[in-house]
Amino acid sequence: MLIDLITGTVDGVVVTPEYTWSMPGVLKLFTDQLKFPENFESRSVCFVGLAVGRWGAVSSVEQLQAIFGYWNAFLYPNRVFLPGIGQLLDAEGQLTNPELVERLRQQAAGFATFANVVKPGS
C-alpha cells in the first residue's frame, strides 16, 4: 500500500480470489462493514484477481471495481489476472511464469505513478 504520511490517506492493491464467479463472502462482508464514503473517497486502488479456473477472477474483480467506484475511489485501469493459480506456483509459493511476474511489476510501477498523479490537490 502507498501511504501518504501528511494526509493519512491510503492507496492500495486489492488482490481477490474468485468463489463461484464472485468474490468470497467474507470479503463482501468486510467491504459492507467499512464506513461510506470516507474509507476510499479519492483514494487510488488497483486490482489483481487469482483463481483456479482459466478466467483469473475476472468476475470478482469487476464486482469489486463497481463497489470501489461507488465509493468514489480512483480505479487504476490496468488489472492483472492470474488464472490456474495452482499451476503457477512453485513449492515455495513463488510465481513461476516470468510473463505474469513482469505484468505484476508493470502494474505496480504504473499504479505508483497513477496514485501520485490523481491525488486531490496535486
Give me the number of domains the chain comprises. Answer: 1
Write the DSSP symbol of residue 77: S
Residue 111 lies in a domain: yes
Residue 38 lies in a domain: yes
Q: Which CATH number does the domain housing residue 34 bear?
A: 3.40.50.360
Residue 90 lies in a domain: yes
Residue 10 to residue 42: CA distance in whole angstroms? 10
The parent domain of residue 44 ranges over 2-117
pLDDT tens figures, 12-29: 888 888 888 889 999 888
pLDDT tens figures, 72-108: 999 999 999 999 888 888 999 899 999 999 999 999 9
Residue 77 lies in a domain: yes
Residue 122 lies in a domain: no
Beta bridge partners of 10: 3
